[in-house]
Structure 1
Amino acid sequence: MSGNRQIPWAGMLLALLTSICLVWASVSLLIVAVVAGVWFFSLWADRLRSMEEEPARQPISERPDLDAIARNAMEATVESVSIPMILTDETRIRAANAAARAVLGKHLVGQDTRIALRHPDAIRLLDQPDGSTVTVPALTVSDSVWHLTRHGIDARYRVIEMRDRTAEADISRAHTDFVANASHELRTPLSSIIGYVETLSDAGDKVDGALTQRFLGTVLREARRMQTLLADLMSLSQLEAEKHDLPETRIELPQLAQRVVREFAPAPGGAIRVEFEKGEDAPVVRGDAKQLEQLLRNFIDNALKYGDGETPVRVVLKPAPRNMTEVSVTDTGAGIAPEHLPHLTRRFYRTDPGRSRAAGGTGLGLAICKHIVERHRGRLDIASKLGVGTTVSVRLPLAAD
């Protein structure tokens, strides 16, 4: 072969070394791949140009379109990437991979980049230097968060890399809300305790015995409230730590439910508060007995707190489809408005904060129950109708024989 037909090993080696340096400099591997791909294809394009200059060149109609070859190479490289990426040719979008089309629309290619991106923060990125990154809220939906990075290929082409940071933002927001809510819940009883203790301390012997006892009773009640809240926080933390560990202990659910129901037995001569219907089956599940007892205890306790007090709470154990068993707790209280139902398992969520605190609730009970159900690979449902009552049901998979 003539010198012009030789493979450009030197240039390809330089491209490889440059790619290694970019990786060493912590540049995104996806961008390194795009740059390396374009570089290698440009070397082959130079080789084809040199072939055109030879005396025995092909007819004009049969010459390869080198610009088209380079564009096709870049488009193929971008298309193979799993995260959304856009290839821009000056002010137009030359190519967008499947992930980008799914996010911004199928007719993305060929549009003006500013029209396609729409958001002012995203448009501002187009005028910034290569390597710049902007955070764009609500690019796709109202609560989404995206990080867009602009990478230069040459004087003409750019790649815009899009990374969805919505999940991270949601986690950060949930963490912030949790800390704020927990601080508020602890601050309220603590302030009450400090206030009453300071009053007793400053007054000394001037406070009569009856008032002193009343103040001390309030301090004790608020201290126990804090103790309950801290216990729930520790329980929730433990559940989150072991949520991926599926329990292996075989548990006879009727016996477990019967033990919990007995805890709510009335005093001698008192009215029955909880009725239990278990049917003829004896379902066995794999689970954590302590957590399942806590789950059922919480449901019954809530039903007694918010029920009408006249009709007993009904606990029913029955078969469920798909090789599962269902335990439900039903009260005949005031019910829950539909707009509250989707939020009941959120931490510290209360439909009636004043009533919940007066009843001794921490706002964490149903959040703990949700985590218990998830750890046991079950399903939690809450159905309620105003003026009729509420039914909380849990379906758990039966243990294999």
Structure 2
Amino acid sequence: MSDAGQIVAAVPHAALLVADNDRILAANARSAALFGEGLAGRHLITVIRQPSVLDAIEGTRSSHLAQETRYLTNDGQQDVTYRVSCAHLDLAGLAGVLVVFEDVTHLEQAGQMRRDFVANVSHELRTPLTALLGFIETLQGPARDDAAARKRFLGIMAREADRMNRLVRDLLSLSHVEAQERMRPDDQVDLAEIVRATRRSLAHLAEKNAVSFDEELPGVPVMVPGDADQLRQVLTNLIENAIKYGGHGCRVGLRLDGPAEGLGLRGPAVRLTVSDSGPGIDPLHIPRLTERFYRVDSHRSREMGGTGLGLAIVKHIVNRHRGRLRIESAPGEGSRFSVILPVSG
């Protein structure tokens, strides 16, 4: 192998060495996977046609200064972004521009997720904030001496402020859970008692919606390694959703099975299922239900006081416990959310 070939082969990313006449002197195996075989000897323009990359190579050749740009392509499944680094090379008569293509698609996707997240948070906060500012202006002006309007507007303002408070609370909770996701909890907790305690804490909400519970819980403790507060939050989010979206007068089922083998995890596990007899969910939506701010019905969710973060929080907590979340639903058949947790660390 030539000196040029050895240099390029040592680069851990796709790399080309381009001579001053724009011929490719050498290419490594990763670049062959990106641009095809038989690259050595070909003219650069027959391999790369994106002007930004060609300009960066020409700029490095003329100035001998390193330059960076982006190379955009598609692998047949998704858009792929490469960070292109150009550096002048002149060793023992071997002169040219070393062009390295580093796949940064994951960084671009993470950046887009952050931008989408900020945009969603801004929207979710701006909507109630706009309403609050509007009512404040009205109370300072036309409704200043109208007692009935004041009472009605203050009630709406209280609901909008509560909506913002729930959103901030869930954002903080999600941030806390994500920060702990790699740290598996090892305290032994009684999952059956957590289910009962959570159901009792939501009795008022269930009564308000004329919802009745069907419980199938063992009469003995069911011990699992876990964080009691976080598991309580999982139960609260799932049961609240079942009550709110199941509809007035629906039935909510709480069932705890196991410990047993064959529940989808290695070794013995328990399965906690929260189900409802509501209208159900189109299977089209199920893969996205745990995404932040994803809603099947945005208007109804906001009316119910949802922040769009509840199931995202559930997913991260279940992941921290090395468990699995399964969602089953169909229109007219209700919904069933199952949390499967290992019984040993």
What TM bracket, shorter-length normalisation? 0.7 to 0.9
AA aligned to 2:73 is A
Q: Matches of 2:74 and 2:49 in 1, distance apart? A: 8
Find out whether 1:115 has 2:46 as its counterpart.
yes
Q: Matches of 1:379 and 1:387 in 2, distance apart? A: 25
CA RMSD in angstroms, aligned pairs only: 2.8
AA aligned to 1:78 is V
Aligned counterpart, 1:395: 340
Give the Å deviation of 1:200.
1.9
Q: Matches of 2:318 and 2:37 in 1, distance apart? A: 40
Which structure has the larger Rg?
1
Give the Å deviation of 1:282.
5.1
Aligned counterpart, 1:146: 82
Q: Kindly provide the CA deviation profile for residues 303-347 of structure 1, in whole angstroms up to 9, marking residues without a partner as x.
A: 121114444122222242422322222223232233322322222
Matches of residues 260-279 of structure 1 in structure 2 within 5 Å? 260-265=198-203, 273-279=212-218
Q: Matches of 2:190 and 2:255 in 1, distance apart? A: 15
Find out whether 1:182 has 2:113 as its counterpart.
no
Q: Matches of 1:282 and 1:114 in 2, distance apart? A: 71
Matches of residues 31-42 of structure 1 in structure 2 within 5 Å? none
Higher strand content, 1 or 2: 2
AA aligned to 1:206 is D
Question: In 2 relative to 1, CA 386–180 (structure 1 residues): closer, same or farther, beyond 3 Å?
Answer: same
Give the Å deviation of 1:146.
1.2
Q: Matches of 1:362 and 1:382 in 2, distance apart? A: 19
Aligned counterpart, 1:74: 4
Given candidates 3, 15, 28, the residue that maps to 1:97 is: 28
Kept in 2: contact 1:304–1:313 (CA 8 A):
yes
Matches of residues 80-91 of structure 1 in structure 2 within 5 Å? 80-88=10-18, 90-91=21-22
Given candidates 225, 239, 255, the residue that maps to 1:286 is: 225
Aligned counterpart, 1:252: 190
User: Given the two structures, how large is their TM-score scaled by the length of structure 2?
Assistant: 0.83
Aligned counterpart, 1:55: none
Aligned counterpart, 1:134: 69
Q: Secondary structure at the match of 1:144?
A: strand
Question: In 2 relative to 1, CA 330–85 (structure 1 residues): closer, same or farther, beyond 3 Å?
Answer: same
Kept in 2: contact 1:265–1:274 (CA 8 A):
no
Aligned counterpart, 1:16: none
Q: Matches of 2:172 and 2:16 in 1, distance apart? A: 46
Aligned counterpart, 1:47: none
Question: In 2 relative to 1, CA 383–149 (structure 1 residues): closer, same or farther, beyond 3 Å?
Answer: same
Question: In 2 relative to 1, CA 204–261 (structure 1 residues): closer, same or farther, beyond 3 Å?
Answer: closer
Aligned counterpart, 1:36: none
Of the structure 1 ranges 134-143 and 165-174, higher mean CA displacement relative to structure 2 is found in 134-143
Kept in 1: contact 2:143–2:150 (CA 8 A):
no
Q: Matches of 1:215 and 1:77 in 2, distance apart? A: 72
Find out whether 1:192 has 2:131 as its counterpart.
yes
AA aligned to 1:335 is G
Question: In 2 relative to 1, CA 129–205 (structure 1 residues): closer, same or farther, beyond 3 Å?
Answer: closer
User: Given the two structures, how large is their TM-score scaled by the length of structure 1?
Assistant: 0.73
Of the structure 1 ranges 285-294 and 310-319, higher mean CA displacement relative to structure 2 is found in 310-319
Aligned counterpart, 2:157: 219
- The unaligned stretches of length 5 or more in structure 1 are 1-68
Given candidates 317, 342, 354, the residue that maps to 2:299 is: 354
AA aligned to 2:89 is I
Kept in 2: contact 1:264–1:274 (CA 8 A):
no
Q: Matches of 1:120 and 1:387 in 2, distance apart? A: 55
Q: Matches of 1:161 and 1:229 in 2, distance apart? A: 44
Say how many residue pairs are matched: 328
Question: In 2 relative to 1, CA 335–107 (structure 1 residues): closer, same or farther, beyond 3 Å?
Answer: farther
Higher helix content, 1 or 2: 1
AA aligned to 2:275 is T
Q: Kindly provide the CA deviation profile for residues 81-102 of structure 1, in whole angstroms up to 9, marking residues without a partner as x.
A: 3222223455454543343344
AA aligned to 1:382 is I
Kept in 1: contact 2:17–2:96 (CA 8 A):
yes
AA aligned to 2:148 is A
Aligned counterpart, 1:236: 174
Give the Å deviation of 1:244.
2.1
Q: Matches of 2:215 and 2:6 in 1, distance apart? A: 65
Question: In 2 relative to 1, CA 160–305 (structure 1 residues): closer, same or farther, beyond 3 Å?
Answer: same
AA aligned to 1:374 is N
Give the Å deviation of 1:295.
0.8
Q: Matches of 2:274 and 2:49 in 1, distance apart? A: 50
Given candidates 141, 148, 166, the residue that maps to 1:202 is: 141
AA aligned to 1:264 is L
Q: Matches of 2:121 and 2:328 in 1, distance apart? A: 28
AA aligned to 2:17 is L
Q: Percent of aligned pairs with the same residue?
A: 38
AA aligned to 1:292 is L
Question: In 2 relative to 1, CA 189–205 (structure 1 residues): closer, same or farther, beyond 3 Å?
Answer: closer
Kept in 1: contact 2:210–2:249 (CA 8 A):
no
AA aligned to 2:82 is W
